[in-house]
């Protein structure tokens, strides 16, 4: 390679596309189907066409001096039609328009001291950029950052931002992997968002799609037939070709795309969509190459977070690459969501059929964190992830899939009463796995999150009809007239209804306060802040769940009562008969400060902890220490549909852990009081 070519390559941000280099732009494209390729420079007074030089292996390229950032261009194939650049950095006129030259390396970053956030400290907040603020842009998300930080969020997770067809889209129909959407503000605005997030102490995780590409605006077939393969299929179209003829360039595109977001946009991690539909029979597997490349970009001093979504619950995802795994830090663990959803709603259709709706199943999911599957009448699988830390699982009560893939886009709090939702939220946020909140759940947003698209009419019609056919097997939509009520993804009203009303943060301040308080407990409490603290879960009966978390000198108990009023007898793991035993109520969901929308008007709380012998009540919110008897027992009075968080030890007054106590079974450590009488 000539010395001048070395100077050009030193400035290359990616191996293909339009790279701003010294004194001009180097254009390059992989087009093995073409005999001749030219770059069309779009000027105000016309088009300048320059022939590219063959560079071998289907590559064409040319250094063009005098061209700078902002120039628009297309590639013309064999003197015929012109197409956007498959590696475009920006599509200012949409997916069918010309590409624009962007020097992504020129952004003035101010986050030089930022080193990322450890997985154990992550609290994820999933957002769709187009619907989470009134303006629907990256800059709009910047305005949310202070409030998210104060809520207790430590990282925002963005649904895909790669350029998509039309004015709005979930992002999973993207066709230009390197181009942040013009509708959100483009690449510079995305860089501003990440820089601002780091200024507020927040990480940014980006959802990326490497299993398929959208159908509209997908011109890859004009360049090569090898981008996709018919040997594998996904529910959304042809699979990307990672192991067939020409796969080397496809692998290069995906690997470089992952590095691109980390290096030039400073994102702190990636969430890979539906990796169970990524097929690769070659070695090393493309997923292992992606994670290895990402960690090489980050280096030893920068913490990144790599997460995989997989229906298969394959433990290889978390296994280090050196041990034959794929090297991810965590997976999206759907079992917790599904088990809780069936418990609270009673829904048993679709993939919910595998879950029996019992607290016993919820307790098993919490202890094992990820199961191979749950079937009616019991649990299958033996906790394949038991050897991995809790922070290897991302759990949720809501996410874009579980809400948006419902026919009417209902959120969980639309389906259950506010008290039950508060109990579930308390349970969810104080478990050691990584919690993911879906935008608006912290203030019980009234807006649904519906499936919306803005395709051209002929494709849009197929999307609408296909969406309604999906639900034909569900009882509620078996009748065609019922299916006609499913919102049309192509209708503007469907998109607008999905936009958050941020004024509801004030209207629903009680729930927002509950979420903020729970997240403060998670971050600051001596036990809850340690993801490695001991964990045990027991279903006391059909409606009451007991969770214990403990460290050497402290214990916490969560009692989640989804049913009628009851009493629960409680002992401590930190039993030490010659010292007093103290329990403190840290939080109860029926406190007046957490008043939820449409909550009852009574100002009184009947909840408290009483000593076994003295029967001394401790009112809610006083933080009063309870003097327990030498037996170390107490009775917790639980009102209907209430969760209580109790402390013993540091911040709670208890003595040392008794190490002989068994982790499972917990006889006498938490059970309905009447059973002990």
Q: Tens of pLDDT along 587-600? A: 999 988 998 766 43
- Min mean pLDDT across 351-365, 537-551, 638-652, 655-669 is at 655-669
The single residue listed with the structure tokens 């969430």 is 271
Name the region of 603 (left: φ>0; alpha: ψ -120 to 50; beta: rest). Answer: alpha
Q: Is residue 69 within 8 Å of 61, Cβ to Cβ?
A: no
Answer whether residue 226 shows pLDDT above 90: yes
Residue 189 forms beta bridges with which residues? none
For 500-516, the pLDDT digits (tens) are 999 999 999 999 999 99
For 648-674, the pLDDT digits (tens) are 865 554 333 333 223 333 334 444 444
Residue 536 forms beta bridges with which residues? 548
The single residue listed with the structure tokens 């999905």 is 498
Q: What distance in Å separates the CA atoms of residue 588 and residue 566, rounded to the nearest whole number? A: 15
Structure tokens at 201: 């102490």
Catalytic residue among 280, 309, 525, 671: 309
Q: What distance in Å separates the CA atoms of residue 410 and residue 450, rounded to the nearest whole number? A: 8
Enter the DSSP assignment of 469: H
pLDDT at residue 191 in the model: 98
* ∠ Cα 494 457 40 (to 5°): 115
Quote the pTM value.
0.90
* Residue 184's pLDDT band (cuts 50, 70, 90): very high
For 606-650, the pLDDT digits (tens) are 333 333 333 333 344 332 223 343 455 677 888 899 999 998 865
Catalytic residue among 126, 273, 289, 525: 273
- Average pLDDT estimate for 213-227: 93
Q: What distance in Å separates the CA atoms of residue 197 and residue 204, rounded to the nearest whole number? A: 7
Residues whose CB is less than 8 angstroms from the CB of residue 361 and which lie 6 or more positions away in sequence, other chains included: 339, 343, 355, 374, 379
- Average pLDDT estimate for 369-384: 43
* Residue 382's pLDDT band (cuts 50, 70, 90): very low
Active site residue 78: no
- Min mean pLDDT across 171-180, 310-319, 460-469, 600-609 is at 600-609
Answer whether residue 212 shows pLDDT above 50: yes
Q: What distance in Å separates the CA atoms of residue 103 and residue 93, rounded to the nearest whole number? A: 18
pLDDT at residue 667 in the model: 35
Answer whether residue 177 shows pLDDT above 90: yes
Q: Is residue 582 within 8 Å of 628, Cβ to Cβ?
A: yes
pLDDT at residue 49 in the model: 97
Active site residue 273: yes
HSE-CB of 619 using CA atoms within 13 angstroms = 5
pLDDT at residue 616 in the model: 34
Answer whether residue 584 shows pLDDT above 60: yes
């Amino acid at each position: 390679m000539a010395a001048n070519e070395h100077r050009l390559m030193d400035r290359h941000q990616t191996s293909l596309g339009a790279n701003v280099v010294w004194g001009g732009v180097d254009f390059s494209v992989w087009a093995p189907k073409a005999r001749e390729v030219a770059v069309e420079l779009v000027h105000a007074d016309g088009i300048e066409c320059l022939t590219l030089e063959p560079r071998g292996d289907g590559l064409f390229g040319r250094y063009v001096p005098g061209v700078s950032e902002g120039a628009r261009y297309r590639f013309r194939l064999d003197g015929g039609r012109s197409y956007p650049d498959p590696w475009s950095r920006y599509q200012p006129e949409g997916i069918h328009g010309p590409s624009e030259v962007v020097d992504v390396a020129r952004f003035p970053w101010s986050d030089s001291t930022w080193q990322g956030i450890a997985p154990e400290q992550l609290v994820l907040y999933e957002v769709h950029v187009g619907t989470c603020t009134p303006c629907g842009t990256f800059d709009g998300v910047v305005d949310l950052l202070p409030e998210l930080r104060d809520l207790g969020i430590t990282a925002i997770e963005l649904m895909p931002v790669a350029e998509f067809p039309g004015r709005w889209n979930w992002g999973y129909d993207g066709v230009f992997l390197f181009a942040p959407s013009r509708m959100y503000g483009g690449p510079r605005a995305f860089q501003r968002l990440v820089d601002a997030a780091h200024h507020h102490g927040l990480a940014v995780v980006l959802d990326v799609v490497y299993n398929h590409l959208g159908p509209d605006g997908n011109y890859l077939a004009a360049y090569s037939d090898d981008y996709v393969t018919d040997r594998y299929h996904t529910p959304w179209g042809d699979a990307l070709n990672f192991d067939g003829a020409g796969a080397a360039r496809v692998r290069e595109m995906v690997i470089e795309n992952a590095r691109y977001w980390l290096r030039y946009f400073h994102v702190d991690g990636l969430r890979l969509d539906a990796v169970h539909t990524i097929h690769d029979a070659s070695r090393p597997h493309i997923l292992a190459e992606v994670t290895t490349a990402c960690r090489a970009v980050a280096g030893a001093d920068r913490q990144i977070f790599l997460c995989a979504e997989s229906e298969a619950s394959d433990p290889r995802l978390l296994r280090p690459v050196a041990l034959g795994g794929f090297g991810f830090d965590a997976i999206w663990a759907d079992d917790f969501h599904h088990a809780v959803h069936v418990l609270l709603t009673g829904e048993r259709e679709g993939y919910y059929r595998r879950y029996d709706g019992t607290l016993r199943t919820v307790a098993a999911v919490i202890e094992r964190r990820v199961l191979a599957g749950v079937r009616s009448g019991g649990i299958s699988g033996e906790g394949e992830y038991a050897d991995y830390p809790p922070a290897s699982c991302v759990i949720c009560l809501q996410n874009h899939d579980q809400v948006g893939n419902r026919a009417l886009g209902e959120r969980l709090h639309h389906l259950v009463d506010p008290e039950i939702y508060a109990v579930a939220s308390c349970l969810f946020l104080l478990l050691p796995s990584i919690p993911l909140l879906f935008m608006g759940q912290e203030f019980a947003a009234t807006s649904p999150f519906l499936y919306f698209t803005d395709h051209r009419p002929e494709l849009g019609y197929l999307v609408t009809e296909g969406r309604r056919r999906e639900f034909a097997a569900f009882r509620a939509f078996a009748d065609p007239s019922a299916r006609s009520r499913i919102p049309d993804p192509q209708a503007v009203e469907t998109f607008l209804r999905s936009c958050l009303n941020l004024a509801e943060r004030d209207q629903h301040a009680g729930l927002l306060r509950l979420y903020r308080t729970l997240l403060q407990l998670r971050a600051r409490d001596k036990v809850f802040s340690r993801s490695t603290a001991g964990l045990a879960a027991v279903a006391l009966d059909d409606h009451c769940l007991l969770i214990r978390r403990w460290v050497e000198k402290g214990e916490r108990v969560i009692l989640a009562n989804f049913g009628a009023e009851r009493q629960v007898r409680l002992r401590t793991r930190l039993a030490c008969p010659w010292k007093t035993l103290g329990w403190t109520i840290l939080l109860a969901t029926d406190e007046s400060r957490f008043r939820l929308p449409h909550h009852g008007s009574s100002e009184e709380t009947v909840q408290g902890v009483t000593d076994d012998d003295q029967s001394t009540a401790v009112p809610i919110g006083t933080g009063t220490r309870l003097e327990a008897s030498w037996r170390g027992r107490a009775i917790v009075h639980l009102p209907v549909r209430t969760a209580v968080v109790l402390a013993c030890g540091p911040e709670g007054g208890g003595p040392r852990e008794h190490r002989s106590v068994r982790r499972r079974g917990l006889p006498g450590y938490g059970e309905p009081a009447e059973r002990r009488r």
